A and B are shown apart, each in its own frame.
Chain A
Amino acid sequence: MPDVQSLVNEFILKLKKRKIEGSQANARQTAVLLRSVISQQRIPYTSQAAALIDAVRAVGQQLTAANPIELAVGNIVRRVLHIIREEDLSLTTGAIEGLNVSSVSDDDSDTDKDDNPGLSAAALAAAARSTLRPPSLQTLLEDLPDSSAIPHTSSSGDNSDGKSKSADKSTKSRKLKHDVIEAVNELIQDIDTCHDQIAEQAVEHIHHNEVILTLGSSKTVLEFLCAAKEKKRSFRVFVAEGAPRYQGHLLAKELVARGLQTTLITDSAVFAMISRVNMVIVGAHAVMANGGVIAPVGLNMVALAAQRHAVPFVVLAGCHKLCPLYPHNPEVLLNELRSPSELLDFGEFSDCMDFGYGTGTPLLHVVNPTFDYVPPKLVSLFITDIGGHNPSYMYRLIADYYSADDLVLQKKAASVN
């Protein structure tokens, strides 16, 4: 336990210092950390899933508080919570199915009394959805079996007292933990391979002689373009340099190393060049539930220019970037201001820095935002590791990956404290 705590603290420190670059790295490290949290967690005989959920949520609250801007961390915490719920559910349903009809009948009475009155209908529906077995047409049409079926699942997710009595306790607790860790391992693997998954779709979107514009650098975009190149598509790439981080220089270098025709342009030339571009392909920092994108700074400008010239604006995002939150004023609230030294040389402007003697407020401000918010109407297509989607579909994808109970990590933290 203490070594888990030290691991958590170490990761929190990294997050606070913004040591980890890129949401993929963040997501992966979060998943690894949560895996060790789960494996080290001592599990009581009763309500094992609840204990795991509490432990993961506690860690998740600390992590998201450390860097609320890095949405991927929160996403992974939610994913892990969802995995725990799901594994627990499948165990119990498996147990139920293994049991005889008689046990089902007393289980029914059990659930009726255990049914948590606090659970909203929405949560019930989400829980039903999370079983990945959509309600059959019959259950939808016939009211009675439907109402009995849902309490089944929800109660088993929340409280498994009734069944654990009958089941073999030691094997089951080990099995739950084992299953969860397996699933988290799968998640880590998914994060690792999301680039390849996305890149596989490249040939479906890039045709011969295409001119593609991108801004800054994203590993996903690099892999995507290279995958198309490997499939013998010849096309040209304009790379906007993405000041003030100038990741575009790095991307251009990588693309040239792989033999692509690359032209590096300044960010200001994007509007001038976009009329000759067939497609804009960019990476994202996070994708919000409404289909909006939190993206490297400058992309809103690119998206507007693309819209003006009717150029498709394609966002590549791994599933770990899907954030189940709806943004409010994301330009400000989900943004981060970096050091002014990236824009202005302090040495050169030192004489301008202390002109605020009159009112006490300095005359010179420097604004260096990290992210831009691209509204969903400017995005033509999302390409995730499970295929291409419209911005309006993102909420549905998100419902597949997260359970409704976990959407608000931070709020719970506030109420607990």
Chain B
Amino acid sequence: MDQRHRVQRAVSDPKVRQVGFFAPNPNPISDFPSRSSPPLAGSPSNATSSSPVIIIPPPPPPAARNHPALSHLVVGSYDAASESLLGSSSRLPSSPPYSARGFVVDGEFSEESWPQRSNSAKFASSFPSGGFNLTAARAVITPEGDASPAVISANEKNEVSAVEAKNERTESSKPEKAKLTKSERRALQESQRAAKAAAKGEGNKPSAGAAPCGPGKASKQPAQKKDTASAAPSSALLERKGSDRLPEKDRKKDVPAPRMQFDDKSRVEKAKRRAVVNQTEARNRVELFRHLPQYEHGTQLPDLESKFFQLDPMHSAVYKVGLQYLSGELTGGNARCIAMLQAFQEAIKDYVTPPEKTLSRDLTARVSSYVSFLNECRPLSISMGNAIRFVKNRIAKMQITLSESEAKASICSDIDRFISEKIILADQVIVKHAATKIRDGDVLLTYGTSCVVEMILLHAHEVGKKFRVVVVDSRPKLEGQRLLRRLVTKGLSCTYTHINGVSYIMHEVSKVFLGAASVLSNGTVYSRVGTASVAMVASSFRVPVLICCEAYKFHERVQLDSICFNELGDPDAVSKVYGRLDVNYLDDWGNKENLQLLNLMYDVTPSDYVSMILTDYGMVPPTSVPVIVREYRKDQLWM
């Protein structure tokens, strides 16, 4: 990881979060006093060491970069608390390679819901690089805890000199950072916590979740300072509110950051340079899906295999799972998620905190690098995003007093608990619920392969229900055939057809059971492509559609169509029809520039086709999904 990369990343990340909303403060000078006013982080708790960190803004957006005065005022998209973390983390040593990797996943689900954690590492890595004059000057790390407000304001006034001074500082900044003692680190943690509490106190602010809103931010900061100047009332406020409603800040955290858009050339280039997996872009890409990654399939695997011994930061267990994703050996939301979590467990067991680093920060960065690697192998599913969010949160919330082995054991047991409670037990609960919905003489239709639906059918068969199963399948994966085989060997009576024949078979069907990759909070079901068609035909025939989905797959994102976010499979799989040598019209499709093949992996089923969602919290209508997401999010993260 050379310096240039880090710089570019630092430039580009805020840019995405500022889309369209950025408007520099027209009155920069008036804001200065408030900036240099007593910092909020220090005030509530101890105010000993880390007072200055709170006013260090993230790097300014490109529009403001060339104007020194503006650059102070254009604050990034993060709220004050995250800024405090930002600043504080910038004094912490960070390991550039990991943090650098951690951001390939920007396009993915939920890691970015913790901007203050992961991004902090990124900004930290960007500062010493020296390519980013003005912010570097702002963020010049004042050694130890001597940075009083006065120093900061002095810094601001003497911007130019700071810029000049920066050069020698950048060389020295790293050793300085490394010199933090344990007590200082603890003090830092304290201040962060205090800052967070302060931000929570602000929970009733109307500008909820407006993450990309630059000006809103700028106006908010002084207000927050007023707020936290009297920290006691605000925390009292928190006490009152915290019990009955989710604090605003948590909700803000839940708003997913924009995903990486692959039609953004510059970002793709950067991501490519960071990438472990060498991907070549697919030929004849579909215009509508330029924003999604689409690569040649089959070329990366040997390449990656040969790299096995060179990739020392990658744990072998993670590597193995990545290869399994890549080769398509490991499919299915639950299976992929469990495999990933177990690989993380392995990696955490073997993890040793490098000297002069804290476990929680370094391990988070490490996990981020694993995640980005897995993401390169195959885009992560939404459920995996939730699981990753859980793991990272566990690591971040690790008590600093724990010894390394204790911490590792605690994380591993947490992961175990996640797997057993959120996936395995949840499945059992769903099976129990669903079995009550199956009656003798039913004809149940299912589409593709869903492991929960399979468990439901087998369970109902075991308890002696008499029913028939219709397995609907579709090209190119033909996953239904595997399900069909397993069901028939267990003695269930099955009918097999392809998705085009679903209108023909639907007359006989009494219920439709479908699996889901995720259920989004507007009630839409994100699932294997074709699910929407099956649900549509079923509802047009007045057949109830039951979606079986564990609650850990619920996500607060919303989506209206299947195009904005999706996954693209191997286009060759469309042109070649398995077992049909006579269908060979398109063998040389790559040479025809007018022809594109589209192998969509998922689609979105509108909620009005869904009669009921079977989940581990019971049987709910699709309208209840946002409620579950909100009410149980806390439980899921802090269990």
Contacts and interface: CB of A to CB of B under 8 A. Distances in A.
A242 B500 contact: yes
Contacts of B532: 271-272
A304 B536 contact: yes
B580 A272 contact: no
A366 interface: yes
Contact of A256 (B473, B507, B592): B592
A366 B599 contact: no
B488 A352 contact: yes
Interface in A253-287: 253, 255-256, 259-273, 275-276
Nearest to A239: B595
B221 interface: no
Nearest to B493: A363
Contacts of A361: 493
Contacts of A252: 585-586, 595
Contact of B600 (A242, A250, A266): A266
Contact of A305 (B528, B533, B595): B533
B494 A364 contact: yes
A275 B564 CA distance: 12
Contacts of B583: 246, 249
A266 B475 contact: yes
Interface in B454-513: 473-476, 481, 484-485, 488-489, 491-505, 507
B491 A243 contact: no
A376 interface: no
Nearest to B500: A298
B577 interface: yes
Given A298-B500, A366-B497, A266 B595 contact: no
Contacts of B497: 343, 366-369
Contacts of A113: none
A249 B599 CA distance: 14
B292 to A, nearest CB: 12
A261 B507 CA distance: 38
Contacts of A352: 484-485, 488-489
Given A253-B585, A256-B595, A305-B533, A266 B504 contact: no
Contacts of A86: none
A45 interface: no
B557 to A, nearest CB: 17
Contacts of B585: 249-250, 252-253
A281 B482 CA distance: 35
Contacts of A270: 533
Nearest to A216: B500
A265 B598 contact: yes
A335 B500 CA distance: 14
Contacts of A246: 577, 580, 583
Given A243-B474, A249-B577, A267-B498, 20 more contacts: A249-B575, A249-B586, A252-B586, A253-B595, A269-B598, A271-B533, A272-B561, A273-B598, A298-B501, A300-B537, A301-B533, A304-B536, A305-B536, A352-B489, A361-B493, A364-B494, A365-B496, A366-B495, A368-B501, A372-B504
Nearest to A378: B540
Given A268-B530, A304-B537, A364 B496 contact: yes
Interface of B: 286, 288, 473-476, 481, 484-485, 488-489, 491-505, 507, 528-530, 532-533, 536-537, 540, 561-563, 566, 574-575, 577, 579-580, 583, 585-586, 589, 592, 594-600, 603-604, 606
A352 B577 CA distance: 23
A313 to B, nearest CB: 14
A241 interface: yes
Contacts of A363: 488, 491-494
A331 interface: yes
Interface residues on A, range: 35 or more
Residue among A269, A349, A373 facing the most chain B CB atoms (10 A cut-off): A269
Given A243-B475, A262-B596, A305-B536, A369 B492 contact: no
Given A272-B604, A364-B488, A263 B597 contact: yes
A365 B494 contact: yes
B529 A301 contact: no
Nearest to A259: B594
A345 interface: yes
A347 B361 CA distance: 55
A275 B532 CA distance: 13
A264 B575 contact: yes
B597 A271 contact: no
Interface string A357-400: 00001011111110011000000000000000000000000000
Contact of A269 (B501, B537, B594, B600): B600
Interface string A67-104: 00000000000000000000000000000000000000
Nearest to A250: B585
Nearest to A264: B597
A276 B289 CA distance: 12
A361 B504 CA distance: 22
The 6 lowest CB-CB distance pairs between A and B, nearest first, are A268-B530, A298-B500, A272-B562, A300-B503, A268-B474, A272-B603
A96 to B, nearest CB: 53
A334 to B, nearest CB: 11
A276 B566 CA distance: 15
A344 interface: yes
Contacts of A256: 592, 594-595
B475 A297 contact: no
A343 B474 contact: no
